Structure 1
């Protein structure tokens, strides 16, 4: 059997989506670009973090990654053959403004000029994420996202990029997963810059959201259209019906879900959290709640939460602090990815229902801006990468998405994570999320079976959506 003729164990009826539904893939700059010291790029917090012993599980970094900076034309050709309508990628802030503020690096803008033009030439809509966690190190040295000034420097950077690319970019994302940056980077120390501030990290959430609102305004002033944000949100399941477990789960849900969407969509913080934010909160909320054109949801799996106990827990190979006001017991009874994440497609439909119930008419149209899985399948003796588990994962989640849409969820597009195997943050190169396998020695790209499955699914929609 040749590549492109993939047998799937999913014998259920063909998926059908609306004819104008958007099909995409996602990546981020630090995870795929490499070339971290070329053409005037400045140092990012991730460059610094990766240089600190013990931070990355395999001691690696994104210094070369998938070498997309030099191979972007090859990668765009892969996307063209895949048939995606949209490509979500991030711009490296240190490539554009190497010190985070002040002088602009022309070579950085020129790279993204070339990438955007290559995408448009291939008939692929560029979806630009302005910030996917790679903060210029000089801004971190000045306080990072704990410093209110970073929000304004982010808006300046957004204006620079918007003025250069707004005429050729169809969709914009200000921030990727501000929850992850707040909690993993500043509260727990698992991501760059590696601070361990606990609840002292809450100002990071507020300043990111303020930066988002300011960036939306800057982008619109530059002529940009279709502006959204990408929030990582998931259903939170209490470990039991006890009052203690339900209380812990409610607190966790507020902290990781509603803290990042209530200010955007309702113009207020969840009860009890506004007082923890640096001011002037009421004035800032007016900026934060600047209307969005669409809302991005990143979904991977639900989370089970219970009352705290003394048992040591690990999340993505990171040991959680013992003094947290909740516990994160494993969700059992489901298949698991090679990252040890439970595979629960129905959680996507559940999260979409939760968003509709909480926000009603205030919820803009949604795009699933990330959904994917890590499996370590590599090429066999014939060069084929048979990743049937990824096919089943995508098939199951797209069926759950179709169900949610049938129930009334206004979802306009789906982006799988990721196009390429890449540098997976603190997990280094130990995890592979791509539709395309990367040989990190030769940089050879090998489309996996899931690539051809996704290609065929997209082609089937062109015959006539539902």
Structure 2
């Protein structure tokens, strides 16, 4: 272990958590990453900021008919505590910070853009730069303005024009402060959600919630991205991505603009199997769209095993995460290889992580995932980042606050931040640039 690695470990320990011995060994066997490799954490606006009252998600969470386990409420209060969060991320050793900007704050009414909110996000990005963090900005992380959902969301053909108008406004005010940008977080998420099994009565409960939202907004066509029919939203989302990229590039042609996808590893089991069919169902047209992006963001958490009749359950005795999926960090290397082969584009790991209350398992997950990143680099694949989900234990959509993906715990009453051992482990790897 080099002197710099020892310094990194010492600095991490000073932050107040103990790195497990196994994690120490993992750092010792790691190798230097490529120059300029990006290390960081991801966080979204709605899930961390709190009080996003003009969004569709806020409305849905607070309906009597909601399917959300609890409302987001104050979330992590990151809207006011962003300086603390950014300083914490930098102090851990990271050099990039993936954040979302909230459309519902910036354009709370159609065509009325808030200069105060744009200035707020400018301060957030300036704070990133002041702490040596390259900001990677997501223009949309699922939530949209309430008025946009009430008019039909991304089911309406002109929704692409409205999203491009938003992208243009943001790029003109904030583009100079961005290091990287992506349009939609997990653009293919509606396709994954359609594939996932749901408990009995789930579809009826979602339909009742959307109907209640329509009544509350006086709309006959309320549509929220996470609950909409992908057959109706998919062509509009592709158009919206394309138009948004054009709008951003018209303002700042040198800004790398990527596409992030949910990229769970699809594995065929036995012969024959339906893995190719499931892969097509998961990505649809997005693999072709990704070929036009400056980079592709892979967001990987587990694998999908597919037999002759469709998806299979995890192997008997497999370890399961708190989110209900198989503990399988090796999925990351598999999705990196797949996406590099299918698109030929630089690969950025823009999300990877695990929901668990046992932080030693998070450390083990990260260590195994980084082993695969290193193997991909050794194979000559152009991998340029490892960005972990998430910096904070935050609001996990319909699951509420029960699932903990964060490297940093957040007290729900005081908002106090407490780094976990996993934060120290990954931060030490980042500081030393050892993959």
TM-score range, shorter chain: 0.7 to 0.9
Matched, 1:215 2:244: yes
The equivalent residue for 1:404 is 376
Instruction: Provide the rounded CA distance (Å) in 1 between the counterparts of 2:269 and 2:71.
Output: 36
Tell me if the contact between 1:56 and 1:428 (Cα under 8 Å) persists in the aligned partners.
no
The equivalent residue for 1:119 is 128
Matched, 1:46 2:57: yes
What SS class does the counterpart of residue 285 from structure 2 fall into? helix
Q: Which moved more, 1:1-10 or 1:18-27?
A: 1-10
Tell me if the contact between 1:438 and 1:446 (Cα under 8 Å) persists in the aligned partners.
yes
Tell me if the contact between 1:90 and 1:128 (Cα under 8 Å) persists in the aligned partners.
yes
Q: Residue 333 and residue 410 in structure 1: after superposition, are their counterparts in 2 closer, same or farther (change >3 A)?
A: farther
Tell me if the contact between 1:185 and 1:195 (Cα under 8 Å) persists in the aligned partners.
no
Instruction: Provide the rounded CA distance (Å) in 1 between the counterparts of 2:316 and 2:377.
Output: 27
Instruction: Provide the rounded CA distance (Å) in 1 between the counterparts of 2:107 and 2:80.
Output: 20
Q: Which moved more, 1:177-186 or 1:394-403?
A: 177-186
Tell me if the contact between 1:205 and 1:260 (Cα under 8 Å) persists in the aligned partners.
no
Q: What's the offset of the Cα at 1:331? A: 4.1
Matched, 1:353 2:337: yes
The equivalent residue for 2:100 is 90
Pick one of 228, 236, 260 that aligns with 2:258: 228
What SS class does the counterpart of residue 459 from structure 1 fall into? helix
Q: What's the offset of the Cα at 1:404? A: 1.3
Q: What's the offset of the Cα at 1:328? A: 4.6
Q: Residue 197 and residue 61 in structure 1: after superposition, are their counterparts in 2 closer, same or farther (change >3 A)?
A: closer
Q: What's the offset of the Cα at 1:306? A: 4.0
CA offsets 1:144-185 (integer angstroms, 9 cap, x no match) = 111111111010000000001111111001111122145538
Root-mean-square deviation (CA, aligned residues, Å) is 2.5
Pick one of 14, 19, 23 that aligns with 2:29: 14
Tell me if the contact between 1:133 and 1:181 (Cα under 8 Å) persists in the aligned partners.
no
Pick one of 144, 151, 154 that aligns with 1:145: 154
Q: What does 1:292-311 correspond to in 2, within 5 Å?
A: 292-306=293-307
Instruction: Provide the rounded CA distance (Å) in 1 between the counterparts of 2:256 and 2:342.
Output: 23
The equivalent residue for 1:312 is none
The equivalent residue for 1:284 is none
CA offsets 1:61-120 (integer angstroms, 9 cap, x no match) = 222110001111111110120121110011110111113x31111221121011111111
Give the length in aligned residue pairs.
Answer: 397
Instruction: Provide the rounded CA distance (Å) in 1 between the counterparts of 2:398 and 2:182.
Output: 23
Instruction: Provide the rounded CA distance (Å) in 2 between the counterparts of 1:253 and 1:364.
Output: 19
Instruction: Provide the rounded CA distance (Å) in 1 between the counterparts of 2:395 and 2:227.
Output: 26
Q: RCO higher in 1 or 2 (8 Å CA, sep ≥ 6)?
A: 2
Matched, 1:256 2:282: yes
Instruction: Provide the rounded CA distance (Å) in 1 between the counterparts of 2:64 and 2:106.
Output: 28
The equivalent residue for 1:133 is 142
Instruction: Provide the rounded CA distance (Å) in 1 between the counterparts of 2:403 and 2:387.
Output: 19
What TM-score do the two structures reach when normalised by structure 2?
Answer: 0.85
Q: What's the offset of the Cα at 1:419? A: 0.4
Q: Which moved more, 1:43-52 or 1:365-374?
A: 43-52
What SS class does the counterpart of residue 166 from structure 1 fall into? helix
CA offsets 1:399-446 (integer angstroms, 9 cap, x no match) = 111111111211011100000010001100010111110111111111
Gaps of at least 5 residues in structure 1 are 38-42, 266-290, 309-325, 378-386
Instruction: Provide the rounded CA distance (Å) in 2 between the counterparts of 1:213 and 1:201.
Output: 17
What SS class does the counterpart of residue 450 from structure 1 fall into? helix
CA offsets 1:239-277 (integer angstroms, 9 cap, x no match) = 542x4xx23x32221011353212332xxxxxxxxxxxx
Q: Residue 102 and residue 57 in structure 1: after superposition, are their counterparts in 2 closer, same or farther (change >3 A)?
A: closer
Pick one of 267, 271, 277 that aligns with 1:237: 267
Pick one of 388, 391, 406 that aligns with 2:363: 391
Matched, 1:342 2:326: yes
What SS class does the counterpart of residue 155 from structure 1 fall into? helix
The equivalent residue for 2:352 is 371
Tell me if the contact between 1:56 and 1:425 (Cα under 8 Å) persists in the aligned partners.
no
Instruction: Provide the rounded CA distance (Å) in 2 between the counterparts of 1:196 and 1:35.
Output: 19
Tell me if the contact between 1:234 and 1:257 (Cα under 8 Å) persists in the aligned partners.
no
The equivalent residue for 2:220 is none
Q: Residue 143 and residue 122 in structure 1: after superposition, are their counterparts in 2 closer, same or farther (change >3 A)?
A: same
What TM-score do the two structures reach when normalised by structure 1?
Answer: 0.79
Tell me if the contact between 2:189 and 2:226 (Cα under 8 Å) persists in the aligned partners.
no
Instruction: Provide the rounded CA distance (Å) in 2 between the counterparts of 1:47 and 1:211.
Output: 23
Tell me if the contact between 2:136 and 2:181 (Cα under 8 Å) persists in the aligned partners.
yes
The equivalent residue for 1:24 is 40
Q: What's the offset of the Cα at 1:397? A: 0.2
Q: What's the offset of the Cα at 1:332? A: 4.0
The equivalent residue for 2:10 is none
The equivalent residue for 1:180 is 189
Tell me if the contact between 2:190 and 2:225 (Cα under 8 Å) persists in the aligned partners.
no
Q: What's the offset of the Cα at 1:450? A: 0.8
Runs of 4+ displaced beyond 6 Å: 185-188, 194-198
